[in-house]
A and B are shown apart, each in its own frame.
Chain A
Amino acid sequence: MFALSIADLHKKYKGGFEALSGLSLDVQEGQFFGLLGPNGAGKTTTIGIITSLVTKTSGKIRVFGVDIDADFPAAKRLIGVVPQEFNFSIFEKVQDIVTQQAGYYGIPRREALRRSEKYLRKLGLWEKRNVAARELSGGMKRRLMIARGLVHDPKLLILDEPTAGVDVEMRRGMWDFLEEINREGRTIILTTHYLEEAEQLCNQIAIIARGKIVENTSKRELLRKLDKETFLFDTKNPVTEIMPLENVEFSLVDETTIKVTKNRTQSMNHIFIHLDSQNIVVDSMRNKSNRLEELFLEMVE
């Protein structure tokens, strides 16, 4: 059973901007699914359509087999969403925000209070339950939205850039939490800019560009496709020129930093020997970027 099945989704905004041009995507139940793509690729529009914040121009969407055109309320009950931007009232109290949301799903107040306590505790917000939301830190606001998105126990949780603006330590904690709820059997779809995040969490990754899916495969398969890597070399002395070398690109970032891009299969020794022959001494080296990032850039270009 697919948790989410999107077929040939189109969205043209008033004013003519075509955000989605035939996007199709299937997400298996139980998957931790990563949706990657540059800004403006259509990630947020897609999520908006699934959650009824944006009206589609055409296409079919099924959530656990429920067609949103046939029975949107039933589909909505299966979906929890954690949006990219804060969208709660900053004047309301933390627990009120969560219990109200439960109420909108028809969950009786007693049960709503019980569940809000469960999730606020899990997300480390219980102490703050009577505080107005505006007093929370950025990371806490983000976690508040996760608690709110889970309060009706959705089978599919969609998170739009959940760790944007969250510090490293807290991000780890959030990852652990998301992995835990995924293990409990909840399907998770995550959009992110942090490719490290997708690499860490997701077992299936799709890349979206210009309103279409350009790649949809398992993480392992995706990483295997990656054949280039980039390093930065810091040199002992200023360098003005580097002789070319087959299958390797050199460029000078500044006079003591060289950017080196090579095929993954090629040995490093080869490069060092080449540099040594020109009397260039490498003091230290570091990875230029995350591996997925490169693949990503390659695909969306």
Chain B
Amino acid sequence: MMRRNWISFTSIARKEMIRIFRIWVQTLVPPVITITLYFIIFGGFIGSQIGAIGGYDYMAFIAPGLIMMSIITNSYSNTVSSFFSTKFQRNIEELLVSPTPNWVMVLGYISGGMTRGLCVGMLVSLVSLVFVRLPLFHVPFILLFALLTSFVFSLAGMINGIFARSFDDISIIPTFVITPLTYLGGVFYSISLLPEFWRDLSRINPVVYMISGFRYGFLGIADSNVWLGLGMLLLFSVVLFLFTLSLLKKGVGIRA
């Protein structure tokens, strides 16, 4: 039984990998170019005018944020577009008619989102080496925050894909929710520099904790309690995973 599930999981994962690397011009290249531009413009041109934050120059401060931003957006967009196009082309039926359990299906798609999110994250990290030498303050934190954030946003993308009925629906959430939360999540600034009202408001943005915890892994400085951030990520992972399973069980968006 476990062996069958494992084979089924690897089949989905394999399919997702093939997809990511088949359309690498769409999946891997654009985010790397975008983030490189951020490095050049914000880190280089503008950053040179800005003083140090927490003892680090601006380039070093934004680098972890930019890496995290690429992990978030790419994990999300991979599962949302892959799952939605699977629904759209109806080849989701290949899985539905098979004995593959729902949890294996979810993990299969999540593995695709995480592969792309973490691949782009690695590529962006490599690019960052051109601009700045990042210290490694606490490697387990870096890995944990990268993996869990990628997991959570892959799940979120899958949920979006489950509900989506048109191609418009797969860009609404990224545009109106993910992007604002990320840009306002302390990629480019420390929330401690904000006026009190905005600082308090930022504290209800979960992305703040993810970026902050990830940055802590590199620089050893944080905007927020990193343990709280880790706890939140674990909680989100469990809740979103169970929510996704319940949607599939009910057949939302996939079974008539």
Contact = CB atoms under 8 A, between A and B. Distances in A.
The 3 closest A-B pairs by CB, nearest first: A103-B11, A106-B4, A73-B99
Contacts of B85: 89
Given A54-B256, A96-B15, A105 B99 contact: yes
A106 B5 CA distance: 6
Interface stretch (B86-94, B145-153, B169-177): B86-94
Interface in B85-129: 85-86, 89-91, 93-101
B149 to A, nearest CB: 29
A132 B181 CA distance: 39
Contact of A148 (B90, B94, B256): B94
A89 B86 contact: yes
A53 B99 contact: no
Nearest to A107: B7
A91 to B, nearest CB: 7
B97 A53 contact: yes
B10 interface: yes
Interface in A61-106: 72-74, 76-77, 79, 81, 83, 85-92, 96-97, 99-106
A102 to B, nearest CB: 8
Given A83-B93, A90-B89, A108 B7 contact: yes
B255 A103 contact: no
A55 B256 contact: yes
A51 interface: yes
B7 A106 contact: yes
A91 B8 CA distance: 20
A88 B96 contact: no
B18 interface: yes
Interface of A: 13, 48, 51-55, 72-74, 76-77, 79, 81, 83, 85-92, 96-97, 99-109, 148
Contacts of A48: 256
B251 interface: yes
B90 A87 contact: yes
A141 B14 CA distance: 23
A76 B8 CA distance: 14
Contacts of A97: 94
A89 B91 contact: yes
Given A89-B86, A100-B15, A106-B8, A81 B255 contact: no
B89 A81 contact: no
Contacts of B12: 103-104
Q: Give the interface SS of chain B, mostly helix, strand, loop or mixed.
A: helix
A87 B8 contact: no
Nearest to B104: A104
A106 B8 CA distance: 5
Given A88-B94, A106-B4, A100 B11 contact: yes
B3 interface: yes
Contacts of A83: 93
Contacts of A108: 7
B93 A54 contact: no
A161 to B, nearest CB: 15
A211 B7 CA distance: 38
Contacts of A91: 19, 22
Contact of A54 (B5, B11, B94, B255): B255
Contact of A79 (B5, B7, B94, B97): B97
Given A73-B101, A103-B7, A106-B7, A52 B96 contact: yes
Given A100-B15, A106-B99, A53 B5 contact: no
Given A73-B99, A89-B89, A103-B11, A53 B255 contact: yes
10 contacts: A48-B256, A53-B256, A87-B91, A88-B91, A92-B15, A103-B10, A103-B11, A104-B99, A104-B100, A108-B7
A88 B90 CA distance: 7
A148 B101 CA distance: 19
B97 A81 contact: yes
Contacts of A51: 96-97
B95 A104 contact: yes
Nearest to B3: A106
